[in-house]
Structure 1
Amino acid sequence: TLVWPIILSGGEGPYAVSVDWGDGKTPDLISQQFPGTFDIKHVYDSPGIYNIVIKATDKNGGIAFLQLVGVANGALSQDNGGQGGDDGQSGTTTPQAKILWQPAAILIPLIIFTFWLGKKYELKVLRKKIEQGERPF
């Protein structure tokens, strides 16, 4: 559900407000007697980005427009054009997340080996300094 607060100011009431939600449904018509704040609400059938156009007209014919972008969230689905026969399939599928584990399987041993090699090099440098009579710390 998208809820958006609208503030009517200026002009003279009553006001007629038309809200085109950008999803192809019939625009909502709202009547407000006085200036002030009210909420517009809409439920989208599917997720997406929608261009919302609001038109307000006062009793003298003054017109104001407001354009918004509405983002509807939810599970994406794809219609494969199936007819949904006896097998219970409806033709609509939900995409499945695919986890790519191959990069992790390669990188984790490489990271462990790199730390081991760095530690070995550090010990070699410290031994060399001790053999030369230096104080490494």
Structure 2
Amino acid sequence: MCTGSRACIEACPYGVIQFDAVRRKAHKCDLCHDRVVAGELPVCAEVCMTDAITFGEKEMLLQKARDLGREIDRKKSAMSIIYLKPLPKNTLARASSRAAPGSSGGPAARAAGAGRRRRCSP
């Protein structure tokens, strides 16, 4: 139970614990559980302009990577994290333009959500 002393924030070696001053409680990321249950993306995945963070069913994410011609780095990938091998220089713009219109991850999808940035809350 949180006492509001913020000792856990100081002790955390990763710096991921935040303090909610209104509720006087410490908290850390829960992948926006309330949003995911409601069928929405976690805020970090929704606002990531470089598509470095994506969220979804693993098989769907793997298929999306294959559709974009990306190669999975199996040495780095774990059970729930997928790393893609880097693109050769000057191909990053071409890769994002290959995303299907209206799909998450393309410039058109981000433009539709522009200005809808939300702050992650506990």
Please tell me the TM-score bracket, short chain as reference: under 0.3
TM-score by length of 1: 0.21
TM-score by length of 2: 0.22
Which of 1 and 2 has greater Rg?
Answer: 1
Question: Which structure dedicates a bigger proportion of its chain to helix?
Answer: 2
